[in-house]
Structure 1
Amino acid sequence: MDPDSVSPRPWRSTGPRLLAGAVGLWAVFLLLDFLAGGRWWFWLIPGLAPPLLFLAVPVALLAVACTAPAAPVRRWLVPAVVALLLAGLPRTGLNWSALLPGSAPAGAGPALSVFSWNTEYWDTTDDPEAFYRFLRARDADVYLLQEYLAWVRETHTEVRELDRIRREFPGHQVVVTGELVTLSRFPVLATPPVGPAVAPDAPWEETFTRRKVLRTDLDVHGRTVSFYNVHVPVQVDTRESVFGGGFYRVVREADAARREQFTALERDAAANPNPLLIAGDFNTSPAMADLDPLRARFDDARSASGDLYPGSWGGVLGADWWRLDWAFTNHAVAVRHYAFVDDLGMSDHRGQDLRISLRS
């Protein structure tokens, strides 16, 4: 008796439909991600998903498709899932260069050490002595620090520790705008404004809200090098309920603020003839298209990292599943070393440790 003439098994009747439906849903999600990412404010919400989802979902679908008992199902579903896997790989944040042996890129002159870090409310939630001891231990030539502020009575508040910062880093010049602090062992030549116009005497709250990029031009061994200290606004307010209109209003407003900062940064850096480094907390994961213009024009420091999946934020199940902190350079700067540094419990972000050199 032909086994297929007997009543069909449950898999043969419903399994292919369920699998095809799952593949179709994932294909629709990918299509929406490519079309809406970086263009539609609402897509900032799906963009919060862990980037490894772009690997885990198609791999799971591929595993099921490869074990499907019906050969016709395998013949068309397996290639479809492989195509979806390849399409989503750039969004995973995987660092393929970590698998390739290679030497550090060459540069002219000695290496410079750079440390970029979102401090999470400076030292106001930590032991101040431990906080400054941690920063000094990095012994960086240039520090790009974010969140030089406090959280008081449910709002961001200015802190005033410039005298202490200068005492703690006597060999560094200090540049501050809003919540951004840049420390440099090299002479500061200029601090060209980037982004919306803000009056020099504007209240701190206005500067904090509108100035999210601090450009500092430094004299590095006789060459002008631009360092961009960046903190792109976060896209959601976790205090708001997703069932209330306030949550979505915040997302719309955040999208407008983020676009303004990204556009200003991209334009300024693209027109800058100097060797440059852009680093900070972008509140943007590899799965989000917001970073695509920067990634297309500048070099991601990730290629100098030995981590297959560099993550800087999250702390879920003992791992940082999101990379929200980034560093980019133009071709005049070679990144010799790039790694995320343990924050020792003083922040929800890991620090970015870099060694760079200038190409001739």
Structure 2
Amino acid sequence: MDPDSDSPRFRSSGGSRLSAGLVGLWAVFLLLDFLANGRWWFWLIPALAPPLLFLAVPVALLALVRTLPARAARRWLVPAAVALLVAGLPRAGLNWSALVPGSPAAAAGPELSVFSWNTEYWDTTDDPDAFYRFLRARDADVYLLQEYLERSHGSHHEVDELDRIHREFPGYQVVATGELITLSRFPVLATPPVGPALAPDAPWAEQFDRRKVLRTDVEVDGRTVSFYNVHIPVQVEPRESVFDGAFYRVVREADTARRDQFTALERDAAANPNPLLIAGDFNTSPAMADLDPLRARFEDARSASGELYPGSWGGVLGTDWWRLDWAFTNRGLAVRRYVFVDDRGLSDHRAQDLRISLSGRPTA
């Protein structure tokens, strides 16, 4: 054994090298994330990591390098760890507005409530009566619901519960396509298609595969308001092994399908002069750049939330580690309240409960 291997100087240099290596590895990951996130299909896989890692890893690195006995190493590793923390924070999913006290300004126009929820195969895996009681109890003016379907034998199938829906929600107008269903107390004026053109009599399976955005224009206080009900395709097939080429083929195909749906949604919403709300299950976390165009153009409803880390999926140890469900508005609508609702075990997603108002401001 080297007689100097146990000396303080050796341990100090070894700790400095280890710390420098860890800082360098995280810096490389952030650089790759900056270059590949939202651009390369493969990056959908590492982007599945919990967004809080963008906060937790640099904080842990900062704590580590601050304990180094070598002053020279601390002098450059501490600023490097701080820089990595600042660079990663936008992907961490934190809602800084939750730290700012205050209440929303008084509504400038009529208020309405909206409930958006991925139901997880409608009521086919639950007690149907409990499922409908939960929905009715929300007493929303507009419901934007996803996964109006059932899953059996490894594939998705159509359900037909329109008769019961009309009984459970008298006075509501119902619009459905594929797995998306929207219920509105307000008169439905139009349902412009968003995405690839489909024949009016297209089979349900084709609607399910290609129609992941349902736009419904309704009349509110003499004005047209557009609601976009969204369910972006999931990135991976968890039943496939990562050691099988089929796993990566699914990811590549999902990336293409996701881009098509995002592009169609972004184009339609950008050209829409109406006050609008976009909400649903995006299967996209704050750490993923797929949402950047929407976040740049529209207002994220989380600014009206009191949660510092709003999450809607992946509940472990009492925390939902991923926010996959989002809501956006343009300047024609103002969000007065935005909360994630406990769904009492009826779904693997928490629901989005919003109160919005017509702002009276121009949308252009």
8 Å CA contact retained: 1:105, 1:335 = no
> Residues 25-36 of structure 1 correspond to what in structure 2 (within 5 A)?
25-36=25-36
CA contact (8 A) 2:110 2:221 kept: no
Contact 2:150/2:156 (<8 A) preserved: yes
- Contact kept, 8 Å, 1:338 with 1:352, in 2: the verdict is yes
Q: Deviations over 1:217-271 (max 9, x none)?
A: 0001100000000000000000100000000000000000000000000000000
Number of residue pairs aligned between Structure 1 and Structure 2: 356
Q: Is the 8 A contact 1:105 1:334 kept in 2?
A: no
Structure-to-structure mapping, 1:1-360, within 5 angstroms: 7-360=7-360
The AA in structure 2 aligned to 1:245 is G
Is the partner of 1:181 in helix, strand or coil?
strand
Distance 2:212 2:275 in 1: 21
Q: Assess if the C-alpha contact under 8 Å between 1:106 and 1:359 holds in 2.
A: no
Alignment RMSD (CA, Å): 1.1
Q: Distance in 1 between matches of 2:89 and 2:286?
A: 10
Query: What amino acid maps onto 1:251 in structure 2?
Result: V
What letter is aligned with 2:32? Answer: L
Residue 153 of structure 1 and its aligned partner are, at CA, apart by 1.2
Q: Which residue identity does 2:87 align to in structure 1?
A: A
Provide, for residues 299-349 of structure 1, a one-character-per-residue CA deviation record: whole Å limited to 9, x for no partner: 000000000000000011221000000000001110000000001001000
Amino acid at match of 1:72: A
Rounded to whole Å, the distance in 1 between the matches of 2:41 and 2:262 is: 14
Q: Is the 8 A contact 2:173 2:185 kept in 1?
A: yes
Tell me the percent identity: 82
Which amino acid in structure 2 is aligned with residue 172 of structure 1?
A: Y
Offset of 1:298 from its aligned partner?
0.3
Secondary structure of the corresponding residue to residue 103 of structure 1: coil
Contact 2:304 2:338 in 1 (8 A): yes
Q: Distance in 2 between matches of 1:198 and 1:20?
A: 55
1:127-186 Cα offsets, whole Å, 9 max, x none, are 000000000000000000000000011100000001110110002100000000000000
The two structures have a TM-score, normalised by structure 2, of: 0.96
CA distance in 2, matches of 1:10, 1:204: 68
Q: Which amino acid aligns with 1:81?
A: A
In the TM superposition, residue 10 of structure 1 has moved relative to its aligned partner by 4.0
How far apart, in 1, do the equivalents of 2:147 and 2:86 lie? Answer: 37
Instruction: Write the distance in 2 (CA, Å) between the matches of 1:333 and 1:88.
Output: 30
Q: State how far apart, in whole Å, the 2-side matches of 1:168 and 1:65 are.
A: 60
Q: CA deviation at 1:7?
A: 4.2
User: Matches of 1:310 and 1:75 in 2, distance apart?
Assistant: 36
SS of corresponding position for 1:314 = strand
Distance 1:113 1:272 in 2: 21
- CA–CA distance in 1 between the matches of 2:107 and 2:290? 30
Structure 1 segments of 4+ aligned residues over 2 angstroms from their partners: 6-11, 105-110
Kept in 2: contact 1:68–1:74 (CA 8 A)? yes
Please state how far the C-alpha of 1:111 moved relative to its aligned partner: 1.3
1:107 Cα shift?
3.1
Taking the aligned partners of 1:216 and 1:225, their CA distance within structure 2 comes to 8
TM-score, length-scaled by structure 1: 0.97
**Partner amino acid, structure 1, of 2:162:** L
Q: Contact 1:106/1:334 (CA < 8 Å) preserved in 2? A: no
Q: 1:202 offset after TM fit, Å?
A: 0.7
Matched residue type, 1:187? P
Q: Specify every segment of 5 or more residues in structure 2 that has no aligned partner in the other structure, as ranges.
A: none
- Counterpart amino acid of 1:162? L
Distance 2:107 2:41 in 1: 41
- CA shift, 1:52, in A, is 0.2
Question: In the TM superposition, what is the alpha-carbon distance from 1:106 to its structure 2 partner?
Answer: 4.0
